[in-house]
A and B are shown apart, each in its own frame.
Chain A
Amino acid sequence: MAMEFLTVYWRDMLRFFRFRALLISSLVQPALWLTLYGGAMSSNFSRFASALPLPRGEVSVSYLTFLGAGVIALTALFTSLFGGMFLIFDKEFGLLREVFASPMPRTHIIIGIGLSGITKSLLQVSVIIGFGLLIGVRFFSGRTPLQVVLDILGIFAFVGIFSLGIVFLSSAISLSMDNHEGLQAVITLLSMPIFFASNALYSIDVFPWPLKMASVINPLTHLINGVRYFAIGNDFYAMGYHYAYSTDDVMRSMLALTVFAALMFLVARWVLKRALVL
């Protein structure tokens, strides 16, 4: 089997670890989200969260815990969006000419970049989980060590497949654009609806219906469903809303992400085939 995509992966990881500033900021940024935004919002929410009625015997998870899962998802989103963006620099700097004129099949480019996208996301997610637990995110509460390991694997599976889809998407966009200034604008614009039409920061139960529709097909929502299921549990309250995930729900979210990643792969491959680098 042709393994050249590992070469693309190797180079991408080399660059990731070589850009110290990039590496450190990508690890510090989610921590800042949790401490700054999480800290600020939970102190605000806790003022009226206690006033929200809960069924007898139920306890609401803290906003920080609720947000923790959201931050995992957001980090995976932004890291992966940027993962494909490197292609436009490769294109502008002429590096893609070397690759396009080589015997390596072009799909290996996106497979390699997809793999490094997964690696970067998982690395960050591990840091967020560890750091979150330190500052009071109540993940995996009441779970045995074995269950925690399985939960983390579950989170990794969701983050991995989601990252793959987003990297393919941003790769496809990068390869169809002419310059990185335009690409930055498009990616920023794209990240807004994905980010806000999701349940990362708040519940989508009370969204107006068009927004709700958008959030239901939003891959980020499916990622967060999966992460919350594994990190918090299948039945909990947060900010007065009841969250219940059946195994079917989670499987459906996984399926949705898989379909999303597969579709994005096809799109990226299609764009790649037609891309001209002269």
Chain B
Amino acid sequence: MEQRFGDLKAVDDVCFSVKEGEIYSFLGPNGAGKSTVINTLITLLPVQKGSVSIAGYDVASQPQEVRKAIGIVFQIETLDRDLTVWEALEFHGRIYSLPQGLRQKRIEEMISLVELEDKRDVRTRHLSGGMKRRLEIARGLMTSPKVLFLDEPTLGLDTQTRIKLWEYIRKVNQAGTTIFLTTHYMDEADQVSNWIDIIDHGKIIASGNPLKLKNDLGRDMIYMETNDDEAALQIVRSLDVVKEVRRTSKGLRISIYSDGTYSLPAIMDLLKEHGVAIAGVNLKKPTLDDVFVYHTGHDIREPSSAKLSVQISARRR
């Protein structure tokens, strides 16, 4: 797909597919075009160019069918604060035209799935952040969707709540629901995803399963600070075990093919022989965070240089 806002190409020839039953992560810095893609998929934005289909339905020509086939947990909270847990689900079931009997059955199932039994008649304004999220997941799942969209489902939640939430999501996925996920937590994406696409500046710049993405960066990564980074870079670059050397803001980042436990002392000796003094060194396995920084050039929490004002920063007051 390709989406423009005036002169700005928010999404530029993005192409991807999600396999049925998998957990798919769509990652990118703020302003990379992520929200535009999601809003198009969930039929809140029209398809401008290209073709998008979900669960066998064309998003542009069969939006109604798509809407029935998907469930959504929005990035921002979208609960009516004045409705109770039960009423929020009842409302949702009714606007999705679930018949009365099925609706009541699903409400009960969902309330027990996310363990909100004792909050049934509590207004959503009195729920904790984690409970609200659970309710929103219950709501998204109520209509038994083929695909569940989770846009930053764990944003702002404490670690314990996040772990709990992932239990539910895994359970749901194991029951056959395809999950489309965006998140700022790379460790989460790493643990749960079957497939990851990274988008930046409106284009997909890396894809693969988490293991492949990490392996692409080399087996180990060495972060090093020296008294002469330029000289060190020239020396290290020529080694066989070295995949790539880059300068970072503080020093060097060296990706190697071999086991760092043994290669690192050798590299350090070599540098010493050439008169380069090493001030600090750190050896680590590449994480998805490293993958992200490697491909986008910045941390996921920093905004992309492409400024998009598409995201509405609506907040509850």
| Contact (A99, B82) CB under 8 Å given A14-B87, A93-B316, A278-B44 | no
- B94 interfacial by beta-carbon distance below 8 Å: yes
| Contact (A7, B95) CB under 8 Å given A92-B314, A101-B43, A101-B72 | yes
Q: Out of A8, A101, A276, which one reaches B42, CB within 8 Å? A: A101
Contacting residues, chain A, for B77 (C-beta < 8 A)? 93-94
B87 near A278 with CB under 8 A, answer no
Contacting residues, chain A, for B39 (C-beta < 8 A)? 278
Identity of the chain B residue whose Cβ is nearest the Cβ of A99 in the assembled complex = B95
* Binary B-proximity of A81-95 (CB < 8 A = 1, otherwise 0): 000000000011111
| Contact (A101, B83) CB under 8 Å given A93-B316, A278-B35 | no
Contacting residues, chain B, for A91 (C-beta < 8 A)? 314
Within 8 A of A (CB), among B95-111: 95-97
The number of inter-chain residue pairs (CB within 8 angstroms) is: 80
Contacting residues, chain A, for B230 (C-beta < 8 A)? none
| A140, B317: Cα distance in complex, Å | 48
- B61 interfacial by beta-carbon distance below 8 Å: no
Instruction: Kindly provide the distance from the CB of A3 to the nearest chain B CB, expressed in whole angstroms.
Output: 9
B45 near A276 with CB under 8 A, answer yes
B94 near A95 with CB under 8 A, answer no
* Binary B-proximity of A6-22 (CB < 8 A = 1, otherwise 0): 01101100110011000
A103 near B91 with CB under 8 A, answer no
B44 near A101 with CB under 8 A, answer yes
Contacting residues, chain B, for A19 (C-beta < 8 A)? 82
- A144 interfacial by beta-carbon distance below 8 Å: no
| Contact (A94, B76) CB under 8 Å given A4-B94, A101-B67, A278-B310 | yes
Contacting residues, chain B, for A93 (C-beta < 8 A)? 77-78, 80-81, 314, 316
State the majority secondary structure of interface residues on B: loop
A7 near B74 with CB under 8 A, answer no
| A277, B44: Cα distance in complex, Å | 7
Contacting residues, chain A, for B317 (C-beta < 8 A)? 92
- B279 interfacial by beta-carbon distance below 8 Å: no
A14 near B310 with CB under 8 A, answer no
Instruction: Kindly provide the distance from the CB of B71 to the nearest chain A CB, expressed in whole angstroms.
Output: 10
Contacting residues, chain A, for B72 (C-beta < 8 A)? 97-98, 101
* Binary A-proximity of B40-64 (CB < 8 A = 1, otherwise 0): 0011110000000000000000001
Identity of the chain A residue whose Cβ is nearest the Cβ of B87 in the assembled complex = A14
- B92 interfacial by beta-carbon distance below 8 Å: yes
Within 8 A of B (CB), among A143-163: none
- B311 interfacial by beta-carbon distance below 8 Å: yes
* Binary B-proximity of A27-67 (CB < 8 A = 1, otherwise 0): 00000000000000000000000000000000000000000
| A4, B97: Cα distance in complex, Å | 7
Contacting residues, chain A, for B316 (C-beta < 8 A)? 93-94
- B307 interfacial by beta-carbon distance below 8 Å: no
Instruction: Kindly provide the distance from the CB of A110 to the nearest chain B CB, expressed in whole angstroms.
Output: 14
- B284 interfacial by beta-carbon distance below 8 Å: no
B91 near A94 with CB under 8 A, answer no
- B175 interfacial by beta-carbon distance below 8 Å: no
Contact sample, A vs B, 17 pairs, CB 8 Å cutoff: A2-B97, A4-B94, A7-B91, A8-B95, A11-B83, A19-B82, A92-B317, A94-B74, A94-B77, A94-B78, A94-B316, A95-B79, A98-B92, A98-B139, A102-B95, A102-B96, A104-B96
Give 9 closest A-B pairs by Cβ, nearest first: A7-B94, A94-B78, A104-B95, A103-B67, A102-B95, A94-B76, A98-B78, A278-B312, A103-B64
